[in-house]
Amino acid sequence: MLYVLHGENFRGRADKLDELVSFFLAKKPNTALVKINQENFPQFNLDELCLTRGLFEQRSVVVLHDLISVPEIKEALLEKIPAVSESENIFILSEYSIGKGDESFLKKHAEKIQEFSSEEKPAPARFNVFTLADAVGLRDKKRAWVALLKAFENGLEPEEIHGTLFWQVKNMALVKEVKEATAESTGLKPFVLSKAKAFSGNYSNDELRGFSSRLVSLYHDSHRGMGDFAVGLEKLILETL
């Protein structure tokens, strides 16, 4: 009888292997446990391990661990799979990776084949807080408010959001105050500079100074316990744009 476990999730595969071994050993206490790996494979004769035991003879649970990855072992092992599947002994093949062709072949002979995919799941794309900064630069109240709510939904802290808004407002104010705003005169990178120039036309100097002042006050007041930082940011967006 053959069971096949495979996949990158080592912990899940190992737990299932332990579960199967414990089950079969408990079922018949005099069952022998044989563990075969790449190093000791030449010491064992699969034909002998496949032999049916008599009524009072010892049964075996044979664990075949990561053998298919070695070409010469794989060839010898797959040749014996039909006999393994028909044996009254229990064979458990545990592999990190099995090719599609080999998996298809093993499915024809295995009592059960189970895949354990990677434990790691792709991390969700992190919200780009600069979409909020751009909306503020464009003075698009609705777009900025929606972006702010998405930032909160994605777990961004008010401090990070505040820092991005302050950076945007500071850049717009800077290019309006400098007579000839260049990368050299402002210290801004060319791409940031071009955006700040385009956005700055949506605000007057007084509006940007007021915006900056409110941001500074909001930061200090929230850290003094004089208001909720997140609520303050939302209010600021709705009242300023």
pLDDT tens digits for range 126-171: 688 899 999 999 999 999 999 999 999 888 889 989 999 999 999 9
Q: Which pLDDT band holds residue 2 (cuts at 50, 70, 90)?
A: very high
Rounded average pLDDT over 85-89: 92
The CATH number for 2-115, chosen from 1.10.510.10, 3.30.1300.10, 3.40.50.300, 3.40.50.620, is: 3.40.50.300
Strand partners, 90: 61
Question: Does 1.20.272.10 match the CATH number of domain 130-240?
Answer: yes
Report DSSP letters for 95-153, one per residue. ES---HHHHHHHHTT-SEEEE---S--PPPPPP-THHHHHHHHHT-HHHHHHHHHHHHH
Task: Considering the chain, tell me which residue range(s) the CATH 1.20.272.10 domain(s) occupy.
Answer: 130-240
Measured CA to CA, the distance from residue 103 to residue 194 in angstroms comes to 56
What does the pLDDT read at residue 55? Answer: 45
Verdict on whether the full-model pTM lies above 0.75 = no
Task: Considering the chain, tell me which residue range(s) the CATH 3.40.50.300 domain(s) occupy.
Answer: 2-115
